[in-house]
Amino acid sequence: MGSILIKDTTREERERIIADSIGDISGSCDGCASGLIEMYQDYIDGKKEIRDINMEFRAHYESGMEAPEKGNCGYVK
């Protein structure tokens, strides 16, 4: 696998990277994957790198800062 940086990938490649990373995105868990897909939409759109999204998520988790609420197996707005 090559680079996953935005500058080195097309939108289609980024969609595939996220889909491959998340696994079954068909929603076999009643739509739980949709929250994860949404979390990485800025990467797919070429706005933020995966590492930045992951760091922001981790910062919210560790600090207790306001973040998306978790539902049964995904995120709820």
What is the full DSSP assignment across 1-59?
A: ----SGGG--HHHHHHHHHHHH--TT-TTTSTHHHHHHHTHHHHTTSS-HHHHHHHHHH
- pLDDT at position 47 is 97
Q: What is the pTM of this model?
A: 0.63
- pLDDT at position 36 is 74
Q: Please give the Cα distance from 44 to 48 (Å, whole number).
A: 8
Phi, psi at 37, each rounded to 5°: -60, -45
**Domain range annotation of the chain:** 6-76
Longest Cα–Cα distance of the chain, Å, equals: 35
- pLDDT at position 26 is 55
pLDDT one-digit tens code per residue, 9-68 = 999 999 999 988 887 555 555 555 566 778 899 999 999 999 999 888 876 655 555 655
Of 37, 35, 30, 31, residue with least CA distance to 15:
37
